[in-house]
Structure 1
Amino acid sequence: MATYVILSRFSPGAFAEPKDFGKLADAVSARIKKDCKGVTWKQSFATLGRFDVVDIVEADDPKDIERAAMIIRSHGHSITETLTATPWTEFLAAL
């Protein structure tokens, strides 16, 4: 199973109050669970900087990751950037 990092930045109108983010996050999560059964969420982080959220996910099919990112964009009112991630030891072994 491949590992991916999804970086998300909220659009200015994503939610009116910071406390409303929980409802939005729950709705996006439920939609991804329903529509992207091949995606396994490993961990999520709130960050300060260029991106607001960093999600670590796994999937066998990159199409599932593309679908999840599009759900985050459309339902989560966010801009995303998705990266493939290779464990460091595997990366070094492949060199």
Structure 2
Amino acid sequence: MPTFILLTKLSPSAMKDARTREQIGREWFETVKQKCPEVRWIDHFALLGQYDFMDIYEAPDEKTAIKVSMITMSKGAVKAESMPAIPYKQYLEVIKDI
């Protein structure tokens, strides 16, 4: 299954109360699991910088990745970008003939 990276920037109101942040995150995760059961989560990181969170996951196709991003936007994100990620060894195989 292809690997995707989800970068998320939350709205200021969603980040305002740290005590509710965990609950909002759980609700988001449960919604994604329900609507996209074929997604396999690899890892979840909090970030410092222009994005608040980064998730690494596997999905069967780009349509499912779009769905993950749209669910994320519906749960308080002002920006959610999903992008394909290619393992480095596969990348080297692709570029070796260039």
- Would you say 1:60 and 2:60 are equivalent positions? yes
Is the Cα contact below 8 Å between 1:38 and 1:61 reproduced in 2?
no
CA shift for structure 1 position 13: 1.5
SS of the equivalent of 1:25 reads helix
- Quote the Cα distance in structure 1 between the aligned partners of 2:63 and 2:10: 23
CA shift for structure 1 position 36: 0.4
Amino acid at match of 1:5: I
Runs of 4+ with >3 A deviation? none
Per the alignment, residue 69 of structure 1 pairs with 69
- Quote the Cα distance in structure 1 between the aligned partners of 2:94 and 2:17: 47
TM-score, normalisation: structure 1: 0.93
Per the alignment, residue 33 of structure 1 pairs with 33
For the aligned residues, what is the CA RMSD?
A: 1.0
Per the alignment, residue 13 of structure 2 pairs with 13
Distance 1:55 1:35, change over 3 A: same
- Identity across aligned pairs (percent)? 30
- Quote the Cα distance in structure 1 between the aligned partners of 2:34 and 2:52: 24
Query: How many equivalent pairs are there?
Result: 94
CA shift for structure 1 position 16: 3.9
SS of the equivalent of 1:28 reads helix
SS of the equivalent of 1:31 reads helix
- Quote the Cα distance in structure 2 between the aligned partners of 1:50 and 1:16: 16
For structure 1, list consecutive stretches of 5 or more residues without a partner in the other structure: none
CA shift for structure 1 position 71: 0.6
Between structure 1 and structure 2, the one with the greater Rg is 2
> For 1:41-81, what per-residue CA distance to the aligned partner results, in whole angstroms no more than 9, with x for missing partners?
10000011111100001011211111111111112x11111
